[in-house]
Chains A and B, each alone.
Chain A
Amino acid sequence: MAHSAVITGIGIVTAMGVGIEASWRALTDGSAAVVDTDRFAPYPVHPAPEIDWSEQIPKRGDQRQMEAWQRLGTYAAGLALDDAGIKGDETLTGTMDMIVAAAGGERDVSVDTMILGEAAAGRSDTGVLINEKLTTELRPTLFLAQLSNLLAGNISIVHKVTGSSRTFMGEEGAGMSAVQTAVARIRAGQSTHVLVGAAFNAEHPDMLLGYEMNGHLARGPFRPVAERASGEGGGLVAGSGGVFLVIEEAGHAKARGATIHAAIGPVAVDAGEADGTQARLESLAVEAGIDEADMIVSANSGALARSAVEKSAAARWPEKSVRAIANKTGHLREAQFPLAIAVAALSIAKGQPVAPLESAEAPANDAPGAIGVIALGHQTAEAMVRVATPEPTQ
């Protein structure tokens, strides 16, 4: 391949705070995670921080047209573009490619509750009831705040990113494929600069319900990721947030004098049967060059079965400290792999390791030269990538 990919922009909004400086403080100061154990009890949730939306979404009309996940994503995308020095440069945003990982939007809880209530009260013509309520009670433009591709659509409108717009779906795997495709296109010369990322709103009962269909959510008091098996429930604590990266062809970044946070290697991804997971993870580790990394940042969801698989795969690297980012942010599903990459890139850029995020994580002192980012989706999909100090030639 003639081209290499670097990270020149990072936008993070999670329970750790708004932006990279607040996030980095939370990753290094040993502070406790921000968790809300009351609002959705018995489920703990990492809430989004307080945000002044108008800083990245100036028009109130645009803010109103979005649901929470879209606002989080559009805001984080704005932060990443600012960080990369691209925001407002329409020559760059007009040629910028975009890959967003998204699920669907949020339902109107009051309308749903109304329908469930009338059905429970004895109305048997539920099909007619649904039509009657949905046609009269739904906000007409709510659909646009629900459609998967409308996070990307809002980023185009608010931040003028219009080179291309693709939305990948499919939980964690969508975030993995999004970054994988972005890096592959840059390495092959199909793209020069890409905005890639995702957002998730955990603070909605329908989002929690999705996880709970298969019993994945942790319940009761908050526990660190490594201790979830001894708690109630399935181990996953959801978190709200948005994460976007600007990934750029190294020469393109250099030519415009951009600050390069880190180099990002090709992303190795796979999926398949449960009993083949260990073998797949070994191949991914080789493909992504994780053996040569100094430490690991993990996108572990906390979900018990897959956490156990990840733990045994990580036994391959007993000397490497691991940081499970979910300890601080909860699980952001589509955004978790981009988040782990963002954290690794920050660590490289700062020349400092992420502090242990729970007592099970070993301390590390040296500035990491390369960090392995590993991710297992809470049900399926696996990915690994190496994030490293850029070569001097980059």
Chain B
Amino acid sequence: MSAVTDKAGRPLIAITGAGIVSPLGRGKTENWAALTSGRSGIHRIARFPTDHLRTTIAGTVDFMTAPEDGSTALTYALAEAAALEALEEAGFSGDFGGPLFVAAPPVELEWHQRLALDAEGAALGESEAGYDRVLAAARAKTHPQNSGNVYFGSTALRLKEKTGARGLPITLSTACASGATAIQLGAEAIRRGEADRVLSVGTDGSVTAEALIRFSLLSALSTQNEVPEQASKPFSKDRDGFVMSEGAGAFLMETLESARARGATILGILEGCGEKADDFHRTRSKPDGSPAIAAVNAALADAGVAPADIGYINAHGTSTPENDKMECLSLTEVFGEGLGGVPISSNKSMIGHTLTAAGAIEAVFSLLTIRTGTLPPTINHANPDPALLLDCVPNEKRDLQVTRVLSNSFGFGGQNTCLVIAAEPA
């Protein structure tokens, strides 16, 4: 039996449960079948009117909750489904008893709630529409039904109750790197000896008109609305932005020692995490790519491995002109020209950008890549960007047994977080 500590003497971290929901479906089986067959989960938005919008497509998850339940209900439902799948796989029914780390989108009152409050204020005799009237309505009676849209910690607190997690759950945001940060925080807690097992979840059900407009005003979204399935085209010459999407991913992680002691199936090892903040600009990366390079190198160093040990890269690959160029540049710096022959593909070509959840969802897909010996493709790769020299597993999945994957997550606000996930040591 191999060692239960890493080269630095820290406990090795086993992944013993994984869960996922994406626009492709619920659960690992459904998702992996769709992802590896190159199916897109992007479609026309039906949840809200799209008049006046430049982008009318998204990867909304429409099979979990009713549209009128709103984004916080969906965000929670996605998180719960992924978390319970991970717990069940790991063999924890009832209380799992470890700490909980949840990457969740920011919340705010939704428009139907603001409009209802204003109408209540009007009924109280307040004359002018606006915040004074809305506050008058709030003063007149409490609105606990709106709590989920007011309290940023509410998704995690509900999930704590549902799963029997211990202590104060941590809710976090590192923008589009959030899901990876949730996994990193969990790994660090295990390494500090605070817990034998942790649950890390990334969830996002926040595709609303206002959220879409905000990204659209920053020119971040694809406007290739004509054929929704073909809009997300990472590493293609005609890529023009990301496609907003929804979903959740979860890992149950524990010390390899405790997993073996209780006879759990070891799905993989979370070997390393690395991060580095960028101080260049709010939405753009430092032109030399040094923060992303530092994050990749930090993850490899944390895992105690060299670039040559990586068999496949799960790209951040958003399909924005900026990200894909910078990601390729940074990885070339670490892995060499043509990325040293390491294949790299973007799940976002099929599921879009699940934002807060992306890092967690893509960590689950990275794990499945190792377990099944199948690299998911980058679809919609009809028109390669000649400036990006890389093997993006174009259009069709590839059978290739890999034992170690690098998963990248980069976000607005200079967030860069990378994970190294490996097969169980022989």
Contact = CB atoms under 8 A, between A and B. Distances in A.
Interface string B208-219: 011001111110
Interface centre among A103, A109, A164, by most chain B C-beta atoms within 10 angstroms, is A164
Nearest to A162: B277
Contacts, number: 247
A31 B415 CA distance: 43
A139 B133 CA distance: 24
Contacts of B122: 120
Chain A: interface residue count, which band? Answer: 35 or more
Contacts of B147: 213-214
A149 B175 contact: yes
B207 to A, nearest CB: 14
B139 A156 contact: no
Contacts of A209: 109, 131, 134-135, 138
B276 A135 contact: no
Given A120-B122, A165-B414, A174-B153, A270 B168 contact: yes
A128 B142 contact: no
A149 B173 contact: yes
Nearest to A180: B168
Contacts of A131: 49-53, 209, 213
A65 to B, nearest CB: 6
A269 B100 CA distance: 13
Interface stretch (A6-14, A182-190, A305-313): A182-190
B342 interface: no
Nearest to A187: B192
A174 B53 CA distance: 35
Nearest to B208: A130
B143 A213 contact: yes
Contact of B52 (A128, A162, A166, A215): A128
B174 A184 contact: no
A86 to B, nearest CB: 15
Chain B: interface residue count, which band? Answer: 35 or more
A150 interface: yes
A327 interface: no
A162 B109 contact: no
Contacts of B278: 156, 162
A162 B275 CA distance: 9
Given A112-B131, A153-B277, 20 more contacts: A103-B106, A104-B108, A116-B118, A120-B129, A131-B49, A135-B53, A144-B283, A149-B175, A156-B277, A161-B279, A162-B291, A169-B153, A170-B153, A173-B171, A190-B191, A212-B135, A212-B138, A214-B142, A269-B167, A380-B153
Enumerate the 6 nearest inter-chain pairs by beta-carbon distance, A residue then B residue, closest first. Answer: A170-B153, A153-B413, A205-B131, A165-B277, A169-B152, A212-B138
B282 interface: yes
A140 B218 contact: yes
Interface in B181-197: 181, 185, 188, 191-194
B279 A160 contact: yes
A168 B170 CA distance: 7
A176 interface: yes
